[in-house]
Amino acid sequence: MAKDRKIDLVILGLLSHEDLTGYDIKKQIDSGISFFWKGNFGSIYPALNEMEKSGLVKKKQDKKSSGREKILYHITNDGKKALQEWLREERVSNDLKYETLLKIYFGGGEDRSVTLRNIEVFENQVKEELQILKIYKENLEKVIEEKDHINYYLTVTFGIDTCETYLKWCVKAKKLLRSGSDGSKNKR
Amino acid sequence: MAKDRKIDLVILGLLSHEDLTGYDIKKQIDSGISFFWKGNFGSIYPALNEMEKSGLVKKKQDKKSSGREKILYHITNDGKKALQEWLREERVSNDLKYETLLKIYFGGGEDRSVTLRNIEVFENQVKEELQILKIYKENLEKVIEEKDHINYYLTVTFGIDTCETYLKWCVKAKKLLRSGSDGSKNKR
DNA sequence: ATCAGCATGTAAGGCGTTACATGATTCA
DNA sequence: TGAATCATGTAACGCCTTACATGCTGAT
């Protein structure tokens, strides 16, 4: 398996539940984990091909009687082993790139309205995401007894908790910028 | 300027305060914004060279009477304009890659001790980061009246608030996993 | 008949990381 | 003298994104 390509593990994780096509994989990434991980066809299909060559997944053609091209992938024992090893590996990279924070950090030389606007934009993004996460959480709560769902539930509550913290921070930050000490011409 | 290379903006942001060498830039990234943005020499030096060619920064040799090689960079008016445009651009990409959450999401098929361990590893990382951020915040509070420092302060409080939320989530998550509904053999 | 969604893939390019290579200075 | 830090850069590689290219299916 490619050394640092996390998309491989995402694919193995999804295939450990059921056989899927590349298209299905993309959909599941979008709907289930997109708030902390992204995927796209340009990385999924090549990864599937390479993983088939190295024996982590197997193709299962499924033409459904029509001539429609569709490739179902199935995880192999080697694939399962690779997944398990990764899950037990304690080295993790949690890599955050908040362009919003960059703009706030470097916005000190501009009028404060610029930073205020950047906070508002972020606030709106977070509000949207929070709505989606809450719906997702409600749906999960209906089936929380099922195997695996407690793990999905944990990631969703992680998302909700952080979004709510972001929103509280936005309120605090705007207040501080509007009324706080301003030490320079950049008053507003 | 390269279309999507954010390192350019980081460099311009830092140079808008003072002239710096590539080495200085790396140090300031490490000490000031590393919790939400990373940088390394392999991207900084090439970026500086390209930005000099396109007129966003200027070289200011400074040999300090010794023969020691050292290149100070200075932001130009074009560079300042590029920085200001970016700060006012409302399109932002906040790109998160939590490998920890991936492992939790896909850990449902394993024994719960695996997920518990992954949470503990995360918890320890966050605790370490939080300590650093708190020291950073204390230092900033001494000089909060100075221009720009309110912006730095905001990013630090963002970091502290999210870290504290992470830690609370860890406690909650561990409790849920240890005592919660387990719907399968994966009891622990 | 047309459009959205299903389905698979390739190509180009950009970005970033890691490792490598070099050498000066400062302090113990 | 040796180690840590200062200082600049290159090369290789890998990963990911975006755009492109193609064609089928099902619903309106």
Beta strands in chain A (DSSP E): 57-61, 71-75, 94-98
Contact between A87 and B99 using a beta-carbon 8 Å cutoff: no
- Which amino acid type is present at position B30? D
Please, what are the averages of pLDDT over each run of 10 residues along chain B (188 residues)?
84 96 95 92 95 93 60 96 95 92 96 96 96 93 82 96 98 91 44
Q: What is the pLDDT of residues B69-114, one digit of tens each?
A: 789 999 999 999 999 999 999 999 999 999 999 999 999 999 999 9
Task: Determine the length of chain A.
Answer: 188
Task: List CB contacts of A177: < 8 A, sequence separation 6 or more.
Answer: A112, A115, A116, A119, A188, B150, B154
Q: What residue has its CA nearest to the C1' of D11?
A: B42
* Residue numbers in A near B164 (CB within 8 A): 165
Q: Alpha-carbon Rg of chain A, whole angstroms?
A: 22
Contact between B183 and A145 using a beta-carbon 8 Å cutoff: yes
Mean pLDDT in residue range A140-163: 90
Closest CA to B172 of A88, A140, A157, A139: A157
- For chain A, the domains span 6-88, 99-179
Q: Which nucleotide has its C1' atom closest to residue A26's CA? A: C7
CATH 3.50.50.60 assigned to A6-88: no
Helix (H) or strand (E) holding A10: helix A6-15
Q: What is the pLDDT of residues A94-122, one digit of tens each?
A: 999 999 999 999 999 999 999 999 999 99
Report yes or no: B87 and A114 within 8 Å, Cβ to Cβ: yes
Report yes or no: A18 and A4 within 8 Å, Cβ to Cβ: no
**Residue B40 to residue B101: CA distance in whole angstroms:** 26
- pTM for the structure as a whole: 0.92
Q: What is the pLDDT of residues A20-64, one digit of tens each?
A: 999 999 999 999 999 999 999 999 999 999 999 999 999 987 655
* Pairing mode of beta strands A94-98, A71-75: unpaired
- Which amino acid type is present at position A133? L
**Residue A37 to residue A158: CA distance in whole angstroms:** 14
